[in-house]
């Protein structure tokens, strides 16, 4: 696996695919700069070698149309502040303005190209467009895990024009390494905590990780499909009725492989989907009509704690309650605390996939786990056992 450490960038232009798809407010100010910060070490390595960095990214979904609200010019100041170098900006990512801006670039300088998705060819994976991009650098570096599952021109196709001069940036290399630790080389016992609303969105992950884990903790809205399938009463809790047979077959497969499945035994039930609803603790299979389970109960958390604290490798994907509402966030916060404690005791913990990352950031666990993945969809596809096109293109 070639990483950025395998190259010296002296007097070279690094064409770096970064993921600067960051949220902006109505004044076009960056509201969460995590992704820019994550790319900084790769950019700094190039500059310290005596090279220059040409950054390419998308922002939003302009669908092949130029759209000022999605211009990357809005993030130039923030990127300059984080990288510590004044970032130059090219009005386009291909064509004369891009070529001229790259030609004028001196060692130690950084240039950000305009939004790749202003060109429909980017998402189509157009080869001619990828070739035009390839002319803007001597070495291709992919450091965008968030888009590694897309076979787009800048994430996958462009790599073929750098047969011997392509590599992973630090961020992407770390993502690959972290997933490998969980899926292949993790010290046992390995525990996967899967939460979120739907079993259907996690089926492939569950089926792929059953051979790799010792414990599977099920939490969040998925719980009730499993409980109802086993004959429990779940009141008005969220449930995928058409997935009950699937839930039972997952439990059977887990049993056959010696995987211990831990499902909540009690829940915080509410009489409405509302932070101010009336609440009570209920056994998970005895939720009255008109009530719904919105968080893990105290006995459940005690059970989860025992499993997490004895784990040596932990994957956390999905919250165990409706953490967006303060009164139903206690379970998710507790799980974060248990993972923090296990990590302090030497466990490797990986958090990935949309909502669990949001929860980790919201409750301040970012620095208390081993690694927080930057890619939602890419992370999920990796856990499903798929080889991501952006990764395969570098390994070729």
Instruction: Tell me whether residue 354 is one of the annotated catalytic residues.
Output: yes
Give yes or no for a contact between 107 and 52, defined as CB atoms under 8 angstroms apart. Answer: yes
Of 64, 108, 232, 377, which is the active-site residue?
Answer: 377
Whether residue 355 is annotated as binding a ligand: the answer is yes
Q: Is 21 annotated as a binding residue?
A: yes
DSSP result, 297-354: -HHHHHHHHHHHHT-SEEEEES-SS-TTSGGG-HHHHHHHHHHHHHHHTT-EEEE-SH
Give the active site residue among 40, 73, 124, 198: 198
Element containing residue 47 per DSSP (H, E): helix 34-49
CA atoms within 13 A on the CB side of 277: 21
17 given a catalytic annotation: no
State yes or no: 356 annotated in a binding site.
yes
Residue 32: is it exposed, middle or buried by C-beta count within 10 angstroms (0-12/13-18/19+)?
exposed
- Considering just the CA atoms, what is the radius of gyration of the chain in Å? 23
**Is 353 labelled a binding residue?**
yes
Q: Which of 12, 13, 17, 35 is catalytic?
A: 35
At residue 28, what are phi and psi to the nearest 5 degrees? Answer: 65, 25
35 a known binding residue?
yes
DSSP 181: I
198 is catalytic: yes
Q: Is 257 annotated as a binding residue?
A: no
Residues in contact with 293: Cβ distance below 8 Å, sequence separation at least 6, in sequence order: 223, 224, 234, 235, 237, 264, 267, 268, 269, 282, 284, 287
**382 assigned binding-site residue:** no
Q: How many CA atoms lie within 13 A of 378 on its CB side?
A: 23
Helix axes 298-309, 330-344, angle to 10 degrees: 20
From 221, 285, 318, 354, the catalytic residue: 354
Cβ atoms within 10 Å of 228's Cβ, excluding its own: 19
119 is in an annotated binding site: no
Give the sign of the dihedral formed by CA 336, CA 342, CA 345, CA 350.
negative
The reply, when asked if residue 220 is annotated as ligand binding, is no
Residue 324 assigned to a binding site = yes
CA angle 334, 321, 359 (to 5 degrees): 65
Binding annotation for substrate: 19-21, 35, 58-61, 117, 150
Binding annotation for (2R)-3-phosphoglycerate: 35, 117, 150
Binding annotation for ATP: 202, 293, 324, 353-356
Binding annotation: 19-21, 35, 58-61, 117, 150, 202, 293, 324, 353-356
The residues carrying an active-site annotation are 35, 198, 354, 377
């Amino acid at each position: 696996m070639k990483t950025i450490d395998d190259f010296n960038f002296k007097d070279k232009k690094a064409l770096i695919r970064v993921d600067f798809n960051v949220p902006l407010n109505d004044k076009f100010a960056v509201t969460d700069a995590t992704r820019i910060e994550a790319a900084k070490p790769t950019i700094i390595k190039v500059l310290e070698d005596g090279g220059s960095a040409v950054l390419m990214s998308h922002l939003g979904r302009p669908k092949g149309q130029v759209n000022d609200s999605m211009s990357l010019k809005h993030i130039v100041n923030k990127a300059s502040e984080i990288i510590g170098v004044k970032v130059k900006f090219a009005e386009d990512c291909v064509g004369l303005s891009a070529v001229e801006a790259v030609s004028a670039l001196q060692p130690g300088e950084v240039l950000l190209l305009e939004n790749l998705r202003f060109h429909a060819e980017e998402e189509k994976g157009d080869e001619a467009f990828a070739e035009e991009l390839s002319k803007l650098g001597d070495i291709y570096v992919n450091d965008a895990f968030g888009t590694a599952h897309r076979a787009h021109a800048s994430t996958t196709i462009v790599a073929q024009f750098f047969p011997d001069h392509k590599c992973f940036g630090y961020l992407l290399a770390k993502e690959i390494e972290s997933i490998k630790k969980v899926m292949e080389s993790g010290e046992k016992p390995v525990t996967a905590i899967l939460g979120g609303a739907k079993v259907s969105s996690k089926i492939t992950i569950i089926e792929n990780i059953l051979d790799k884990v010792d414990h599977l903790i099920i939490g969040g809205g998925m719980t009730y499909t499993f409980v109802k399938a086993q004959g429990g009463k779940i009141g008005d809790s969220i449930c995928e009725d058409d997935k009950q047979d699937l839930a039972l077959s997952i439990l059977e497969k887990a049993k056959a492989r010696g995987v211990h499945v831990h499902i909540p035994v009690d829940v915080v039930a509410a009489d409405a989907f509302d932070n101010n609803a009336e609440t009570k603790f209920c056994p998970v299979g005895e939720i009255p009509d008109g009530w719904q389970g919105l968080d893990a109960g105290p006995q459940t958390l005690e059970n989860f704690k025992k499993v997490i604290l004895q784990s040596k490798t932990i994957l956390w994907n999905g919250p165990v309650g409706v953490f967006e509402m303060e009164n139903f966030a206690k379970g998710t916060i507790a799980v974060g605390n248990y993972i923090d404690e296990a990590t302090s005791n030497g466990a490797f913990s990986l958090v990935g996939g949309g909502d669990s990352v949001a929860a980790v950031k919201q409750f301040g666990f970012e620095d208390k786990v081993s690694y927080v993945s930057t890619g939602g969809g890419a992370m999920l596809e990796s856990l499903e056992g798929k080889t991501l096109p952006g990764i395969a293109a570098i390994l070729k």
